[in-house]
Amino acid sequence: MIETRDLTKMYGELYALNRLNLKLDQGDVYGFIGPNGAGKTTTMRILATLLNPSWGEATVCGYSIYNSSRDIRKLIGYMPDFFGVYDDMKVSEYLEFFAAAYRIQGLDRKKKCDEVLELVDLGYKRDALVTSLSRGMTQRLGLARVLLHDPMVLLLDEPASGLDPRARIDMRALLKRLRSMGKTILVSSHILPELADICNKIGIIERGQLLFDGDVETAIKQVRQNTVIHVGVEINRLKEASGFLKTMEGVFSIEERDNADYLRVTLAHDFKDGSFIAEALVRAGYKLKTLHEEEVNLEDVFMGITKGITN
């Protein structure tokens, strides 16, 4: 559905994009992660045929960005980070205006506008002025606008930018619904955890260069080579348990954190299952209170892969 080959954009001596290679298949939800200035928006604007690259190739649904911009625009829905709205319009009028621009005529126009309003849970605001909407509602209205012509591909640039926690949850739920509808989605963000349970693939970009491209599990394995287990016993026997575990085969290191009621146990490279720790502690007479594997989230992955450099 989307493929780039050595896609490059330069401004003078500055590389906004440096030989970017991406591939999204139908139904993929691709999390495009990177700090501000990393090249995410530049990539989306090129794919939306709003910006020409310096060199390299990109295709969307099999069409080249160089000679098939009209075909591509019929198939995509591009939602920029910030977009203008017409303040003196009602929500329904705003959508009908853009539906007319997509040449959706007559009764089909009103039906389609009602459908997308229900999809983004704004049906109850159809007669409200656009100026009365909150930031979260405005973002959902923007998403409704790009869904009017039922695009195959969605390019969503920081859709949760500036939203409060409740609105972020609503936006994630909406993106999951779009995923279930079979849409191919490229969604960018610099707020990492919000993409963790939405995307089947992620790309981490910094200073125009793609540092990682693959699924979340592969990214986690790349960052963490050893399994880490949190182990808790009676607080007065924590140090004693630490000394006991250090003698065991399969334990690489143990960290005792100040004011923590558990030990952070790193297993040796060939050991992935920490259940042997529980068995050994119980046999030795310890009362086991906690034993679980430490999770690695996308923020850990991002910090592990990037160098903290932006344009």
Q: What is the pLDDT of residues 79-88, one digit of tens each?
A: 998 777 777 8
Q: How far apart are CA 234 and CA 228, in angstroms?
A: 20
How far is 9 from 41, CA to CA, in rounded Å?
A: 12
Q: Which part of the chain is CATH 3.30.70.100? A: 226-292
253 Cα distance to chain centroid:
33
Residue 94: pLDDT above 60?
yes
* pLDDT for the residue 55: 94
Residue range(s) in the chain whose domain bears CATH number 3.40.50.300: 2-222
Among 19-23, 57-61, 137-141, 183-187, the range scoring the smallest mean pLDDT is 137-141
Lowest mean pLDDT among 25-29, 122-126, 160-164: 160-164
Note the Cα 138 to chain centre separation in Å. 20
pTM of the entire structure?
0.79
Burial category of 3 from C-beta neighbours within 10 Å (exposed 0-12, middle 13-18, buried 19 and up): middle
The class that CATH gives domain 2-222 is: alpha beta
Asked if pLDDT for residue 300 goes beyond 80, the answer is no
Apex 30 CA angle, 226 and 172, nearest 5:
95
Burial class (CB in 10 A: 0-12, 13-18, 19+), 295: exposed
> In this predicted model, what pLDDT tens digit does every residue of 155-189 receive, in sequence order?
999 888 777 788 888 888 888 889 899 999 999 98
Judge: domain 226-292, CATH 1.10.10.10: no
Place of tokens 């539906």: 99
Is 80 exceeded by the pLDDT of residue 307? no
Structure confidence at residue 287 (pLDDT): 92
Q: Which of 215, 253, 254 is nearest to 238 (CA)?
A: 254
The answer to whether residue 76 scores a pLDDT higher than 70 is yes
Stretch 125-131: mean pLDDT: 92
Confidence category of residue 278, pLDDT binned at 50, 70, 90: very high
Kindly tell me if the per-residue pLDDT of 27 is higher than 80. Answer: yes
Given a cut of 80, is residue 25 above it in pLDDT?
A: yes
**Positive or negative: CA dihedral 177, 186, 212, 201:** positive
**pLDDT value at residue 7:** 96
pLDDT tens, position by position, 49-75:
999 999 999 999 999 999 999 999 999
